[in-house]
Amino acid sequence: MMMKESTRRLITMWVMLLLSIAGLVVAGYQTYEHYFLTTSICDISATLSCSVVTESRYGEFPPDSGIAVAAYGVLWWGVLIVLIYQNLRKISKNEFYISLWIILGLLFVFYLLTVELYILPREIGMIVICPLCTVQHIFIGILLVLSFLLLRKSIKSYLKNLFFIEKEGKGKQINPKPLFVLGTAFIITIGGYFILGSGLREINYYDFAKCLADKNATMYGFKACPNCNKQEHIIGREAFEMYIEGTGRYVLCRPESEGSKPIGVRLQNISILTEYKDKISPLTTQAELCSLMVGKGTPTWIINEKQVVGWKTIPELSELSGCPVPENFKGEIVGKGKRITPV
């Protein structure tokens, strides 16, 4: 028995609505994770990790803007839910604009795939896949196919009247629906920049990071280590790059291209445990050094000749190093989950 067209459309819209709600939940979780530095449930390994992707500088758009890509996702999913709900309740026949909105969302799919498969491998030496991002990509692909099933006319017919519609006795008039779609995208971009970019941009503790460097505090880790990334964010990515990484006090244990590098003159700028000083020379590779310095996982700090495993808060680093807590320190909201990444 053939299913009625109205029933098929109804089922299609309900499936789309449920997928969109699921996508909103995932994006909401990733937004919370980004801004509150919680331990992600999808940090499975160095190459399957949400944190490595979303907490990199490319996890914000524009990069380093303070606006999480996931926050755009929350707004995008929210608008899609409204469009589908309107169509479901017959408030508006906007099936073509649902397709347009989904196609617009594909831009961020391509952006994240480029980050995962091209940009990050060039920077950290390996491909890293964000599982929760991939789940949303699959949802968007399914939704795009389903949205085409809702179309009542050919795409050519919709495009013909995309920006102008014919009204009896009034001739051609501007069609407000595509303007709504484009306007919403503009508001999300500009509004997100001023609200999120200005209000939630991370704090950089430059003087504190310089003090750590002056005391020769050294961190051992690797770029695909989620908890190492978290430590960078706690200090402030720019401050960390300037005074810890930039002065050679971030020893990379992975990938092989980094681990095989001899430490050379950097030996003068890094802290090592006293009992291993006789075993280390400028020819020692970073991987060999890590095998001696790293504790149960990364990040591992060597501060005042003590080995400290796991990311640390600013007050904890202050207590370990003797560096005063920054005057602009406002407290931290960080997850209390696992603090180390297995090497």
Residue 250: left (phi > 0), alpha (psi -120 to 50), or beta?
beta
- Of the ranges 162-176, 252-266, 323-337, which is most confident? 252-266
More confident residue, 70 or 166: 70
pLDDT at 103 over 80: yes
Mean pLDDT, rounded, for 226-244? 92
pLDDT at 188 over 80: no
- To the nearest 10°, the Cα dihedral for 148, 111, 184, 36? 120
The three-state secondary structure class of 223 is coil
Q: What are the backbone dihedrals phi and psi of residue 265, each rounded to the nearest 5 degrees, phi first?
A: -70, -15
Tens digit of each residue's pLDDT (9 = 90 or more) over 107-128:
989 999 999 999 998 888 889 9
The fraction of the chain above a pLDDT of 70, given in percent, is: 86
More confident residue, 131 or 329: 131
Q: How far apart are CA 73 and CA 77, in angstroms?
A: 6
pLDDT at residue 8, as a whole number: 83
Q: How far apart are CA 181 and CA 196, in angstroms?
A: 21
Q: What are the backbone dihedrals phi and psi of residue 272, each rounded to the nearest 5 degrees, phi first?
A: -135, 155
Residue 343 in tokens: 């090497």
* Bridge partners, 68 (sequence order): 60
pTM for this entry: 0.80
Mean pLDDT, rounded, for 24-47? 87
Q: How far apart are CA 297 and CA 95, in angstroms?
A: 51
pLDDT at residue 165, as a whole number: 66
pLDDT class of 311 with cuts at 50, 70, 90: very high
Domains of the chain (ranges plus CATH)? Answer: 5-199 (1.20.1440.130), 206-321 (3.40.30.10)
Task: Report the Cα–Cα distance between both ends of the chain, in Å, rounded.
Answer: 58
pLDDT at residue 279, as a whole number: 87
CB–CB of 104/185 below 8 Å?
yes
Mean pLDDT, rounded, for 15-36? 93
Q: Are strands 171-174 and 164-167 parallel, antiparallel or unpaired?
A: antiparallel
pLDDT class of 106 with cuts at 50, 70, 90: very high
Q: How far apart are CA 189 and CA 61, in angstroms?
A: 9
Mean pLDDT, rounded, for 300-328? 93
More confident residue, 239 or 155: 239
pLDDT at residue 9, as a whole number: 84
**Nearest residue to 105 via CA among 135, 64, 141:** 141
Residue 168: left (phi > 0), alpha (psi -120 to 50), or beta?
beta
* CA distances from residue 275 to 173, 279, 305 in whole angstroms, order as listed: 81, 9, 10
Q: How far apart are CA 29 and CA 32, in angstroms?
A: 5
Q: How far apart are CA 122 and CA 126, in angstroms?
A: 8
Specify the DSSP class assigned to residue 45: S
pLDDT at 251 over 70: yes
pLDDT at residue 277, as a whole number: 85
pLDDT at residue 264, as a whole number: 86
State the average pLDDT for the chain: 85
The fraction of the chain above a pLDDT of 90, given in percent, is: 36
pLDDT at residue 168, as a whole number: 61
